[in-house]
Copies of this chain bind each other. A is one copy, B any other.
């Protein structure tokens, strides 16, 4: 018997119009869609893709536990992979919706780990949050002989200092409760004037502010700081 195919589908940063044509086609062709939801909240990826879903889809909601215990998360991925695997065994294609790009800071990696060797798998890349943020800020991010680092705000202070200090451009993702720490690092490096804060890039509630104009010490999870490289030489 021929199994179904597993698709990791990037749905982009938030604007439903930033899905690719291919993402929309794969969603329309897949009888089953799957997505992760975290902390008891509705799935972000599903919300982004909602207007492209069809009435006939069956849906698999992989609910990650509230408690940030790695064993619980692994158990949730095990169970999700098993439900997806069962659809694939019945010959149904399954499209896993992923915010941004499936292979950049995505939970798709955990499903791919469990299913990618056993079933035919294809990944549809998507627009990532940091390029959408640069578009929202209307700032060239990196050019010519310049370098860019992409990193999560959850890193320890010293790692942030070292990484940001050695690059031309930076995108610092997942600010959340780490905003105050990241702000300190950026001021220490003398980069506060260039830093741009972007919340919900391209999505509902998009905000773009210079870091120096931002007073809060916490930020939503889907917020980031950009340090554009400036004009290339």
Q: How far is the CB of A130 from chain B (nearest CB, A)?
A: 9
- Bitwise interface map of A from 90 to 134 toward B, beta carbon under 8 Å scored 1, else 0: 000000000001111110110011001000011111111001101
* Chain A positions 5 through 21: 1 when the CB is less than 8 Å from some CB of chain B, otherwise 0: 00010101101111111
- For residue A155, CB closer than 8 A to chain B, the reply is yes
Contact B101 A131 (CB under 8 A): yes
Stretch of A31-39, A143-151, A185-193, A207-215 lying at the B interface: A143-151
B-contact 0/1 string along A181-213, CB 8 Å cutoff: 000000000000000000000100000000000
Q: Is the CB of B22 within 8 A of A134?
A: no
Interface flags for A151-180 (1: CB within 8 Å of B; 0: not) read: 110110001001100110000000000000
Q: Are B163 and A163 in contact (CB under 8 A)?
A: no
A141 CB contact (under 8 Å) in B15, B17, B103: B103
Interchain CB contact under 8 A, B103 and A139: yes
Q: Evaluate contact between A162 and B166: CB separation under 8 angstroms.
A: yes
Is A142's CB within 8 Å of the partner chain B?
yes
Tell me which of A8, A127, A144, A155 has the highest count of chain B C-beta atoms within 10 A of its own C-beta. A127
CB distance from A195 to the nearest CB of B (A): 16
Q: Determine whether A135 belongs to the interface, using a CB cutoff of 8 Å to chain B.
A: yes
Complex Cα–Cα for A132 and B102 (A): 10
Q: A10-B131, A18-B125, A103-B142 are in contact. List 8 more A-B contacts (CB 8 A).
A: A16-B21, A18-B20, A19-B20, A102-B135, A123-B138, A124-B135, A125-B135, A147-B152
A-B contact list, 20 entries, CB within 8 Å? A10-B127, A10-B131, A17-B25, A101-B135, A103-B135, A103-B141, A104-B141, A104-B148, A106-B140, A108-B140, A109-B143, A112-B138, A126-B127, A127-B127, A145-B152, A145-B154, A147-B150, A147-B151, A147-B159, A148-B151
Closest 9 CB pairs of A and B: A109-B140, A123-B135, A17-B22, A147-B151, A125-B131, A101-B131, A103-B134, A125-B135, A148-B150
